[in-house]
Amino acid sequence: MRASALLRGRAMNAALRACALALAALVVGGCGPSEADWRSASSWSLTAVAVARAWERGEVPTRYARRALQKAADELAKGPLPEAGAPVDELRQALERGDREAVRQLVSELAAR
Amino acid sequence: MKRFLGIALGIVTSIGGFLDAGSIATSSQAGAAFGYSLLWALALGTVCVIFLVEMSGRFAIASKHTITDAIRKRFGFPALVVPFALTMLVNLLVLASELGGVCVALELATGIGFQLWAIPVAIALWLLLWVATFDVVEEGTALLGLVTLCFVVAAWKLGAEPAELARALVTPSLPPDERAHYLFLAVSIVGATIAPYLFLFYSSGAIEDRWDKSYLTPNRLIAAGGMLFGALISMAVLVVAALTLKPEGIHVESYEQAALMLLPAFGRWGFWLFIVSLAVACFGAALELSLASAYAMAQTFGWNWGENLRPRKAARFSMAYTVFIALAALIVLTGLNPMKLTLFSMAITAVILPLTAMPFLILMNDRTYMGSHVNSRFSNIVVALIVLVAAVLAIVSIPLEIIGSR
């Protein structure tokens, strides 16, 4: 009885170790950005470019462009490359100042990335 | 002449009232992500909704009952409890999506956050239901909804190829990647197109308008013509997103992105046309949904009901839509992303569809209610097949979408 209990105990330990390893693999594997995250980040960068260009052409009002760029910057900051939010935030500030030259310059830089 | 005008008005109001937050969100996301390749889902949903809406009108005419009322009488209240509770829950989420759509349109126009618009819009919605008659609610907002035809004009201006569209309509094809998201969008599109509140509302409307057997043919024409032309607008939203957002690499995750889609076709007018379309379509849908939910509640519990009755003559019916609107406003106030809420509520609609559609199908084959106007075998097969396939796809794709978006 002592032997079978010992064996059960060892089997249980092994099972527990296997579960812990599987869990760790899941956690580690799930921590990295998914393909959907990268696609979303790319989409928000391109949205920022499109919004700024539309603003330059006078097709969208400044208050919409400001909010859309803020949203894009926030989404990028939450994504796999948080530093990508900074240039979009700079773009938003240039737009708020009405600095078309700065907007044009920043849009070209963003579009080139 | 009067009957002809009635049919024409019925078709026009169906067209104008077709688009809502669900159609705009699902179609714009589908077009931006996958081009034309989800048009088949829209076509499938449209075929099913034409059948369901026509059946709904025919049922009201032949039986002089609404669907909910008849389900309660035929199957008993206990059988109705679970489908009723789930339908009410989904209706609430969808109502919150529609309300959220109006609020977002106002945010895009004014720069004032969408949550701050929740209470004023909810009050406007409630006030209109409180003072207006059924005709004003149904026809007024639907006529305003004709502004959504701008998407059809945009699709034409952008040079959408009819042959390519026709091919995509009838040829489902899985993309090489993002398959879980593709399937999720497919069921969301079907859920947005075959929303149960639509055909339940239609049967209540037929009773409110006192349709008799002389309306059998007009009902068929309104169901087919209205739903078909209405679906063309949803398809146009998908096509426009495919032609303007997809080439730019923009995936639609929020209405701020969707607002860009009409700019290439209309320039600066495109921005305002999108806002007005979103606001009017969602407001109209919110009115219908509030009424549909109140109808369902009143008919389930056997209360007095009717939008044409003064509120004090149908106090519990009026209280029902009041409470619904208040709860939906609370959901919007939480700040949940309105577009994400819309997409998930459309997918969940597809899951619960069989719970409403199947009892309805049984009634449509019951001569006690239908007399000689029972369903054909073809109608039964088409509806049962589409509803079941949609539900199975939804059960599979919703968890995959949740896992994929973590």
Give the tens place of pLDDT for each residue, B181-229: 898 889 889 888 888 788 888 888 888 888 889 999 999 988 898 888 8
Q: Per-residue pLDDT averaged across B139-154, rounded?
A: 88
Q: Which residues of B touch A34 (CB under 8 A)?
A: 404, 406
Q: What is the pLDDT of residue B309?
A: 67
Q: What is the pLDDT of residue B245?
A: 97
**pLDDT at residue A1 tops 60:** no
Q: Per-residue pLDDT averaged across B77-82, rounded?
A: 81
Q: Per-residue pLDDT averaged across A67-79, rounded?
A: 95
Q: CA B265, B268, B269: angle at the middle one, nearest 5?
A: 70
pLDDT digits (tens, 9 = 90+) for B377-404: 998 998 888 888 878 877 887 787 777 6
Q: Per-residue pLDDT averaged across B143-171, rounded?
A: 91
CB contact (8 A) between residue B257 and residue A47: yes
* Sign, CA torsion B269/B275/B281/B283: negative
**pLDDT at residue A59 tops 90:** yes
Q: Which residues of A touch B270 (CB under 8 A)?
A: 59
Q: What is the pLDDT of residue A21?
A: 44
Q: What is the pLDDT of residue B264?
A: 97
Q: Which residues of B touch A40 (CB under 8 A)?
A: 251, 253
Q: Per-residue pLDDT averaged across A30-52, rounded?
A: 88
**pLDDT at residue A17 tops 70:** no
Q: Which residues of B touch A63 (CB under 8 A)?
A: 110-111
Q: What is the pLDDT of residue A40?
A: 93
Longest dimension (CA), chain B: 58
Give the percent of chain B with pLDDT over 90: 46
CB contact (8 A) between residue A59 and residue B267: yes
Confidence of residue A87 (pLDDT cuts 50, 70, 90): very high
**pLDDT at residue A20 tops 60:** no
Round to whole Å and give the CA distance between B268 and B270.
5
Residue B261 phi, psi dihedral angles, 5° rounding: -70, -25
From the list B249, B404, B406, the residue facing A46 with the nearest CB is: B249
CB contact (8 A) between residue A64 and residue B111: yes
Q: Does B250 touch chain A (CB under 8 A)?
A: yes
Please spell the DSSP secondary structure of B38-69, one letter per residue: THHHHHHHHHHHHHHHHHHHHHHHHHSS-HHH
Q: Per-residue pLDDT averaged across B58-80, rounded?
A: 87
Cβ contacts of B77 within 8 Å, gap of 6 or more: B300
Cβ contacts of B63 within 8 Å, gap of 6 or more: B70, B363, B369, B370
For residue B31 the two structure tokens come to 């077009």
Q: Which residues of A touch B107 (CB under 8 A)?
A: 67
Interface size, chain A vs chain B, as Cβ–Cβ contacts under 8 Å: 67
**Candidates A26, A37, A43, partner chain B, best to mutate (most B CBs within 10 A):** A43
Please give the residue of chain B at the shortest CA–CA distance from A59: B268
Round to whole Å and give the CA distance between B27 and B46.
13
Q: What is the pLDDT of residue B122?
A: 97
Confidence of residue A22 (pLDDT cuts 50, 70, 90): very low
For residue B231 the two structure tokens come to 């679906």
Q: What is the pLDDT of residue B335?
A: 92
Q: Per-residue pLDDT averaged across A90-107, rounded?
A: 93
Q: What is the pLDDT of residue A15?
A: 42
From the list B249, B405, B406, the residue facing A42 with the nearest CB is: B249
Round to whole Å and give the CA distance between B371 and B363.
11
A1-38 residues labelled b (16+ CB within 10 A) or e (exposed): eeeeeeeeeeeeeeeeeeeeeeeeeeeeeeeeeeebbe
Please give the residue of chain B at the shortest CA–CA distance from A48: B257
**pLDDT at residue B117 tops 80:** yes
CATH code assigned at B235 = 1.20.1740.10
Q: What is the pLDDT of residue B134?
A: 72
Range of the domain at B100: 2-404
Q: Does B111 touch chain A (CB under 8 A)?
A: yes
Length of chain A: 113
pLDDT digits (tens, 9 = 90+) for B285-331: 999 899 888 888 888 888 877 766 666 677 888 899 999 999 999 99
Give the percent of chain B with pLDDT over 70: 95
Residue B143 phi, psi dihedral angles, 5° rounding: -65, -40
**pLDDT at residue B124 tops 60:** yes
Query: Which is higher by pLDDT, B96 or B297?
Result: B96
Q: What is the pLDDT of residue B143?
A: 82
**pLDDT at residue B154 tops 90:** yes
Q: What is the number of structural domains in chain B?
A: 1
Give the percent of chain A with pLDDT over 70: 71
